[in-house]
């Protein structure tokens, strides 16, 4: 078979990819993963009893919004990395900036307290379980995001997997925040960020294996 004939055969029936196909797949991943993440939180942990009262506390919103923006940044990065030749651009800032800001708040809180009171701010009451709980709650989102990316065309699978992890970890931490009693910035900067980083690292490791063409 001649080369021109082979190219013609391969091109037969090729249709353009629908616009926003990447966005749709990732939105479907969120639609599938979020209810499962919420179910894990509700059945395994439960919503904090004073949630209505706590909604008037600024630090509760810090705890909810900083991982939310990490998830949003992960979504935008995954959306771009799923398409060959598309640059990540500045979408990574939505992942990095919230983490930098919460770390700045943590350092300010740490150095404004007497030395004897600093460790309780960092350890809280749930430091042993916080990061693992976030990773567990984010697991359905992580799996759904990887499945969505698998059906697309990421050319940088490690980065795409890490972006899926940021999406899942940020969303999982946002859901977990509705249960978590901790509000101190040093706690959030260490244990929440650690919980988000678990799926990010897993995504970077598994991406080259699971997202390869």
Tens digits of residue pLDDT in 94-147: 999 999 999 999 999 999 999 999 999 999 999 999 999 999 999 999 999 999
In a domain, 177, yes or no: yes
What 8-state DSSP symbol labels residue 189?
I
Task: Kindly list the distances between the CA atom of residue 178 and the CA atoms of 90, 156, 182, in Å, as whole numbers in the listed order.
Answer: 29, 34, 10
Q: What is the mean pLDDT of the chain?
A: 91
| pLDDT over 70, % of the chain | 91
In a domain, 6, yes or no: no
Residue 7 lies in a domain: no
pTM: 0.89
Domain-located, residue 203: yes
Q: Is residue 11 part of a domain?
A: no
Q: How many domains, in total, are found in the chain? A: 1
Q: How many residues does the chain have?
A: 213
- Phi, psi angle pair for 64, to nearest 5°: -85, -45
Full residue range of the structural domain in which residue 177 is found: 20-210
Closest CA to 82 of 173, 37, 17: 17
């Amino acid at each position: 078979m001649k080369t021109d004939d082979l190219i013609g055969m391969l091109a037969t029936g090729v249709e353009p990819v629908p616009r926003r196909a990447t966005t749709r797949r990732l939105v479907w991943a969120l639609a599938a993963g979020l209810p499962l993440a919420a179910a894990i939180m509700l059945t395994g942990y439960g919503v904090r009893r004073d949630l209505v009262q706590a909604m008037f506390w600024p630090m509760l919103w810090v705890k909810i919004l900083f991982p939310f923006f990490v998830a949003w940044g992960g979504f935008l990065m995954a959306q771009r990395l799923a398409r060959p030749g598309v640059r990540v651009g500045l979408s990574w800032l939505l992942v990095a900036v919230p983490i930098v800001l919460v770390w700045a708040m943590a350092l300010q809180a740490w150095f404004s307290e007497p030395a004897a009171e600093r460790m309780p701010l960092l350890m809280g009451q749930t430091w042993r379980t916080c990061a693992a709980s976030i990773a567990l709650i984010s697991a359905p989102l992580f799996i759904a995001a990887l499945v969505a990316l698998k059906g697309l065309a990421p050319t940088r699978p490690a980065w795409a997997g890490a972006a899926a992890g940021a999406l899942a970890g940020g969303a999982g931490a946002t859901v977990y925040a509705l249960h978590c009693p901790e509000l101190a910035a040093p706690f959030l900067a260490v244990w929440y960020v650690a919980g988000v980083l678990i799926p990010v690292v897993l995504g970077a490791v598994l991406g080259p294996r699971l997202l390869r063409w």
